């Protein structure tokens, strides 16, 4: 019995102590709220329609991932007095969304850089990812507008002005 206990002790002694969590939930929550505020206030009075709060998770060894869903524009409400959109209204909604797309992409780039600064306890080689799902109604023309935009970059490169632009990788789905 004593030999078995000694063997177990030796086995677990080599395991080492797990590394402490480097990014706290409080740090992620602060960024979540900041992102929501940035989306809501972007390009007033025609702001984005935030459909859900931003959520962030930290994965040790990989980095921080944030995601949210929004509509590029607030669309006019239908009512008994205005039960359907006219073709000119649909075209105007689509055009507004196309105009808002570059604003969203620029805002996302700024958020990645701000995250790299704010997440000071995150290792420099880890990634920061921001994913925005774009809401589309079934009746609208979504041509030229992705369903999702994902931007990511390595924290260390996002912090450096010389590597920042080339560090941000964008995918549209």
In tens, the pLDDT along 30-89 reads 999 999 999 988 766 778 999 999 999 999 999 999 999 999 999 888 899 989 999 999
Q: How far apart are CA 115 and CA 167, in angstroms?
A: 14
Query: 22 pLDDT band (50/70/90 cuts)?
Result: confident
Structural domain including 57 reads 23-172
* Extended beta strands in the chain, E state: 49-50, 55-59, 63-71, 127-134, 148-154, 169-172
Please compute the mean of the pLDDT values over residues 139-157 and round it to a whole number. 97
Contact predicate 103/130, CB 8 Å: no
* Domain assignment of residue 1, yes or no: no
Domain assignment of residue 12, yes or no? no
Give the integer Cα–Cα distance in Å for 115 and 138: 34
Domains in the chain, number: 1
- The pLDDT value recorded for residue 51 is 95
66 assigned to some structural domain: yes
């Amino acid at each position: 019995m004593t030999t078995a206990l000694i063997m177990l002790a030796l086995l677990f002694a080599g395991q080492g102590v797990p590394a402490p969590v480097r990014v706290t939930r409080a740090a992620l929550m602060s960024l979540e709220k900041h992102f929501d505020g940035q989306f809501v206030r972007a390009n007033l009075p025609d702001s984005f329609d935030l459909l859900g709060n931003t959520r962030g998770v930290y994965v040790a060894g990989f980095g921080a991932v944030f995601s949210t869903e929004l509509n590029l524009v607030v669309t006019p409400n239908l009512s008994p007095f205005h039960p359907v959109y006219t073709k000119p209204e649909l075209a105007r909604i689509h055009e507004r969304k196309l105009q808002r797309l570059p604003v969203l992409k620029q805002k996302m780039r700024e958020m990645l850089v701000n995250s790299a600064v704010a997440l000071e306890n995150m290792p420099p080689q880890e990634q920061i990812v921001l994913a925005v799902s774009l809401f589309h109604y079934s009746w609208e023309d979504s041509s030229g507008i992705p369903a999702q935009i994902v931007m990511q970059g390595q924290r260390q490169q996002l912090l450096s002005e010389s590597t920042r632009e080339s560090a941000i990788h964008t995918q549209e789905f």
